[in-house]
Structure 1
């Protein structure tokens, strides 16, 4: 049986504990599935890819659970709106991506066109939208706020600071950042994306050193052929 703290979740008003800890029985359709109380709420609301919507759930219950889920995310301290100058941890951004699956699908919003008529435009929102504000324009559309640019600026400052400290510790000359090979290195890291593990001592001392030596020797051999011809 779920503990008292979990029982306070609205999902337990419309479901009961199943045969296992993560199994929930739906009070409306009688279906049973794994995934815990969050998956059960997704089942009631509908629109989530990992669980089928409950066909028997009343509309007012569906909207009640949807509002509960949205309010729970909006009030989570990790997802509160932050000022551009505040420190942003990239680990929090990664966690927000993982948490986004719990966000109920947003409804289609009506946006007036410049001619005065209303056209439907689907706006998908998730936790990251709390960081990046949008402003309404007179034409009825949206224009980007400064949030994305400010966030990139803050994250870049963090990266440059960490790299500079590493340079100072390693005693590298300042002009090493002007090498073309350094640009290739930055581009390779960018393409890899988050989660890249740093090179190991063995990789730089043995594995890749041998590869570079082999490349140089191959170039020298090609030139030797030209010298003898």
Structure 2
């Protein structure tokens, strides 16, 4: 009998000893209430609960709702550690089902009493609970510059260097232009991949060439359709931007501006065409018909003579559309005329020397700029 009783005592004490070794016990204090029940006082949020066990403690610190309220003040590394402990515990149990939703797990609380929250004296009992969406747990978190992940915070300099080297190898191997790294979509792609986590498989050659290209085209079409509805509601302005590329081709870009945004329509190569007023007017007619004559209220081009005549022809055909020269082009011509004045020409030449000095002596400027009184220095040169 003594042997059996001692075995029972050792068996009963084993879970207690195992539980005290759990890291979760370090994050709360245990007291006894008036009714003799254990009261668990949490270190971070200062909430107190009765009838909870080590499992609910982990869920509280891990920020997993469903069985107990989540802690709002626990540090990020403690939260991640508790989540890893819960995942490891579930992996050890080797459940037959593949449901790894952390909100489940009622079998873990068979030996625990009904939980009772003890409100903190400084907290208003009648406060309204904020509505928490249940959709967030199904979405993959995306990292941003204002919300760094734990791994990125504690990543060593060598790991960061290694990641950047991998990106550099890819850029060099694919012969990308370095300006491609200035694209705003580059960081968005990095954030999306980091949000998915380790094991993300890059899109295949066929996906980029066919499937994803079609999806991007659909997105662009939907965006233009949203802008088109704004054209009908508020009207729009057509802008014709003439320029010459590095192959000495004369191009005219047509864009549509509205309060919702700017839309590129098309680019026309007019290198072999005679850019007289009737030819330009026919191009304007074609673009106006695509946008919708009733949606266009304004046409903006440069103030060359052929564009002026084409603008008058456009207004003659569509009396609701008015032409005006580009303000930036007019200002450029105005500044060009001002710079041709004798005294302004002298000042421009002196300013050019200052600019040349700063460009050619960057190291000197970087080292000695703080020691120089820049304003006096510039006035002396002028």
Give TM-score scaled by structure 1 length.
0.36
- Relative contact order (C-alpha < 8 Å, sep 6+): which is higher? 1
TM-score (norm 2): 0.23
